[in-house]
Amino acid sequence: MKLLLKPLKNQKGTTLIEILIAFTLLLLVVTPLFKALHVGEKLEKYSEEEIKALYIASTILQHKKASIKLQGEAKDTVPETVQQYDNFEYEVALRPVSIGDSTWELYEVTVRVWNESGQEVQLVSRVSRR
């Protein structure tokens, strides 16, 4: 029993096994952190593109609704703020909606916007004109 309690005289520093175990534990902790950062970066880029697409769709939709209310028709023009986004494509569909014998003119305006990676945002609104 006295041999086990007695310190070894030639024990200096750490062994190779201890270094490998410490390095392995460090990798087990750090690897998931880097993965989480990478996923967060991808989500940020995706969200940024989707917000831009929503902004474009909303701006076009408001422009079309205003032109219908003011002039009774949707102009083919696009607001200048939308023209600055080169990597987005959009499509506008205007469809008259009948509501019986009413004096109201009702239109359904659909705006679809795609970014260069193919993500689509669609906004639909109804506009009335007497």
For position 33, what pLDDT does the model report? 93
Residues 71 and 63: their CA atoms lie apart, in Å, by 12
Residue 5 lies in a domain: no
DSSP letter string, 80-124? HHHHT-TT-EEEEEEEEE--SS-S-EEEEEEEEEE-TT--EEEEE
Q: Which two tokens stand for residue 113?
A: 């916007």
Residue 72 confidence (pLDDT)? 63
Domain membership flag for residue 24? yes
Q: Answer yes or no: is 45 within a domain.
A: yes
Q: Is residue 47 part of a domain?
A: yes
Number of domains in the chain: 1
Residues of the chain below pLDDT 50:
none
CA–CA distances in Å: residue 74 to residues 8, 70, 93: 91, 9, 10
Q: How far apart are CA 130 and CA 114, in angstroms?
A: 33
Residue 26 counted as domain residue: yes
Looking at residue 38, what is its pLDDT?
93
Domain that holds residue 21: 16-129
The CATH number of whichever domain residue 106 belongs to comes to 3.30.1300
Please provide the distance, in angstroms rounded to a whole number, between the alpha carbons at the two ends of the chain.
Answer: 103
pLDDT for position 66 = 83
For residues 125 and 97, what is the distance between their CA atoms, to the nearest angstrom? 12
**Is 125 within a domain?**
yes
pLDDT at res. 64: 82
- What does the pLDDT read at residue 21? 94
- Report pLDDT for 87: 78
How many other CB atoms are there within 10 angstroms of residue 104's CB atom?
11
In a domain, 6, yes or no: no
